[in-house]
Structure 1
Amino acid sequence: MIRSDLAGVPPYVPGKKPPHALVVASNETTQGPLPSVARAIADAAGGVNRYPDMSVAALRAAIAAWFAKSAEGLRIDMDNIATGNGSTALCQQAIQATCHDGDEVLFAWRSFEAYPILSQVVGAKPVMVPLTEDHRHDFPAMLKAITDRTRLIFVCNPNNPSGTVMTHAEVLDFLHQVPQRITVILDEAYMEYDRSPEAVNAAEILRLFPNVAVCRTFSKAYGLAGLRLGYMVGGAEFIMAVNKVALPFGVNALAQAAGLASIDATDDELKDRVDATVTQRERLLQAVPEELRIPSQGNFILLPLGAQAEAVDAELKKEGVVARCFPGEGVRITATTAEETDKVIAALTPALATVGGARWGGRPQES
């Protein structure tokens, strides 16, 4: 009665949230929604007895106008916008809109954990191309991995969980070599935190490449993870297909109100919050040994601990700090507030020393 291939599909594992622990596992913001957004959510709560606008027309129009401000010369209207139950839902809809059974979805690995799961659920084959030694996308290897069955490519930038970015020039060079028949999704869930000097200009990418769409979210910087709201910008034909496979009423009424209010929020409201997070991200990086520092442009850092990842994660848990462990690879820690960063560093420093011995600041371990 159940599809046999689902036996090989791993479930998505959310970050654990034990009571009374400091949870820095899920890349959430510690603060709630922006103050003006919180008020809009409260005002909208009285109307949740009614179905939301299934077409999400007002929010899509607002996002189009908002995006167009940074996209001089690029015509953007609501037909170029899809909204979804978080950017994850939009990623799945993009796969559904482009892939038949057995078609291939290509992406770097390790990257966003949902990519292989969403691909397999839809019946597509995930093709995972290892990151480079410095934890960045290996574009030459990704190009070599393209086959006649490749239908969709995800480029997560900044990449989750490494936090690394590709430059605008590198992305342009890559896209020039990708066949136009293949759709490329530029997944920018963490773009607000990117301070790199050669950051990708999504508007220019969309202007040059009709086979590219950009996916973003309100879950991170805007503090709406619990409401689930993402958006995608792309060509009208592709966006129509993405909307066609969407779950009816997938964007709830509170999320729509919060999205509109987030767009209307002052730039200073968001800038102050993001700047504070970036400051704590840099504090975390400086607190670890140099060999474990991966320059991050997300709201998190990744410690490439290899075989020691689980041991360090266990030591953190003993001190009440819950990070995200990728067994055999590393531990990801979300940057939050100054107070929480103090607690993380206080737990992380002895954890590294205990597990790594003299290599990471502690006494040599006995054999």
Structure 2
Amino acid sequence: MNSTSPIRPREAIAALPTYAAGKPPVPAEGLTPYKLSSNENPLGPVPAAAAAAAEAQALHRYPNPGAEVLRAELARHLQVPVEDIVTGTGSLGALTQIINTFAGTSADGTADEVIYPWRSFEAYPIVVRTAGAKDVTVAVTETGEHDLEAMAQAITERTRVIMLCTPNNPTGPALRHQAVEEFLTKVPSDIVVVVDEAYLEFVRSEDPVDGLALYRKYPNVVLLRTFSKAHGLAGLRVGYSISQAAITEHLRKAAVPFGVSAVAEAAAVASLQNLHEVHQRVEEIVEERQRVAAALAEAGWQIPTTEGNFVWLPLGAESLDFAQLAGEQALAVRAFAGEGVRVTIGEPEANDRFIQLCRTYRSTPGTD
């Protein structure tokens, strides 16, 4: 590539961080490689969903423009109006639609502001800055939780969107419903509040956020959900948002037509129709998460309470070193340089190998 090319992107694009997807594991002699870097569901989709995807017909035809069949099934399942659901290519696609609709650069050239916790989902700054908006980050606490008071204090007349991530990716803690209710009373009604619930099904904490209750009570709340995690359909990219008509009437204008493929829609509908099996698989992962967290605590590690399908190791400067050692054990983990390492709950053998690495890690930052 010619680095002296006169072709240049927009300034905002040139300055963007690059999204770093979880890398696959590197094989090691005598060890089965495992990918624990992308928070994927190791159990995969339920059989009915896999069959529906395999049997999808008419691939030469365009899919439903707005995934109408899936939205109808979601509306029935969630007991919400079908018009309140807008689908997207994964929850990230749905989020991109929200930000593009409600935050950007005003006619006078001033950037709107979007508040979100940090560290949180690494795509947030990319989506915000691509839209031309300014991101306002509020540091999470030492235990990896949202600082809701500081987020409320960060609101200005330029604030257009606030994002809450529960459970927070990559640190793990989930918000409490009462705390979010109290926070929403401090937010002006013309500011859109996005509650990112990508890992909703894995939450087992006391007083979990009832997103549907918030959406019904507050017209400025948008719920963000996905079929990538609990449903094991990450490869098909199906997500959606739920909000009242005051938001969806504008949101549909930014929605990408045919954003959900016919194959993805068929699989997602089948998964919804077999939720008991989805929940069984989620429970298996939750039990493994609890086993892993207990083993780390026994080994002396102090990690944030996790309610997702992953754990967070607050390794700081040792993060890349730990990730390299994990790689030598044929385990791909997600390191955030200078901050920590996120490790997905995977197959039992992978989890056992990860636990053993944590027991023998030479410096174990974040331990007693």
TM-score, normalised to structure 2, is 0.91
Counting helix residues as a fraction of each chain, which structure ranks higher? 1
1:73 alignment partner in structure 2: none
Deviation at 1:346, TM superposition (A): 2.7
Any residues of structure 2 matched to 1:116-195 within 5 Å, and which? 116-195=125-204
1:19–1:328 Cα change, 3 Å? closer
Deviation at 1:340, TM superposition (A): 2.1
2:74 alignment partner in structure 1: 63
1:223 alignment partner in structure 2: 232
Residues 24, 321 of structure 1: 8 Å contact kept: yes
Is it true that 1:287 corresponds to 2:302 in the alignment?
Answer: no
For 1:4, which of 7, 11, 25 is the aligned residue?
A: 11
Is it true that 1:14 corresponds to 2:21 in the alignment?
Answer: yes
Deviation at 1:332, TM superposition (A): 0.5
Q: Deviations over 1:176-224 (max 9, x none)?
A: 1111010001100001000012111112111211100111100001000
1:266–1:137 Cα change, 3 Å? closer
Q: Deviations over 1:106-151 (max 9, x none)?
A: 1000011111110001101111100112211001100111111100
For 1:88, which of 87, 92, 100 is the aligned residue?
A: 92
Deviation at 1:290, TM superposition (A): 4.0
Q: Deviations over 1:288-342 (max 9, x none)?
A: 2444221100000001111111211111111111100011111111012222212
1:278 alignment partner in structure 2: 286
For 1:142, give the aligned amino acid. Answer: M
Residue 355 of structure 1 aligns to a residue whose secondary structure is coil
1:266–1:192 Cα change, 3 Å? closer
Distance 1:80 1:56 in 2: 13
1:271–1:318 Cα change, 3 Å? same
Residue 281 of structure 1 aligns to a residue whose secondary structure is helix
Distance 1:247 1:204 in 2: 28
For 2:200, give the aligned amino acid. Answer: M
For 2:82, which of 78, 83, 107 is the aligned residue?
A: 78
1:233 alignment partner in structure 2: 242
For 1:146, give the aligned amino acid. Answer: I
Any residues of structure 2 matched to 1:242-253 within 5 Å, and which? 242-253=251-262
Is it true that 1:196 corresponds to 2:208 in the alignment?
Answer: no
Residues 85, 251 of structure 1: 8 Å contact kept: yes
Is it true that 1:112 corresponds to 2:116 in the alignment?
Answer: no
Distance 1:241 1:90 in 2: 13
For 2:188, give the aligned amino acid. Answer: P
Distance 1:152 1:67 in 2: 25
Q: Deviations over 1:36-55 (max 9, x none)?
A: 111111111x3211110112
Q: Deviations over 1:224-272 (max 9, x none)?
A: 00000001110123123222112221111111111111111141x1122
RMSD after superposition: 1.6
2:64 alignment partner in structure 1: 53
Distance 1:66 1:327 in 2: 41
Residues 83, 230 of structure 1: 8 Å contact kept: yes
Distance 2:347 2:104 in 1: 44
1:38 alignment partner in structure 2: 50
After superposing on structure 2, the runs of 4+ consecutive aligned residues of structure 1 that deviate more than 4 Å are none
Is it true that 1:263 corresponds to 2:272 in the alignment?
Answer: yes
Deviation at 1:161, TM superposition (A): 0.5
Q: Deviations over 1:81-110 (max 9, x none)?
A: 000000001111101110131101110000
Query: How many residues were matched structurally?
Result: 349
Percent identity among equivalent residues?
Answer: 40
Distance 2:84 2:327 in 1: 45
1:365 alignment partner in structure 2: none
Deviation at 1:19, TM superposition (A): 4.8
Deviation at 1:58, TM superposition (A): 1.4
**Looking at both structures, which has the greater relative contact order when contacts are Cα pairs under 8 Å and sequence separation is at least 6?**
2
Residues 25, 331 of structure 2: 8 Å contact kept: no
TM-score, normalised to structure 1, is 0.92
Report the more deviating stretch, 211-220 or 30-39.
Answer: 30-39
1:360–1:318 Cα change, 3 Å? farther
Distance 1:64 1:356 in 2: 47
Distance 1:238 1:115 in 2: 20
For 2:351, which of 328, 331, 341 is the aligned residue?
A: 341
Identify unmatched segments of 5+ residues in structure 1: 69-75, 362-367
1:305 alignment partner in structure 2: 315
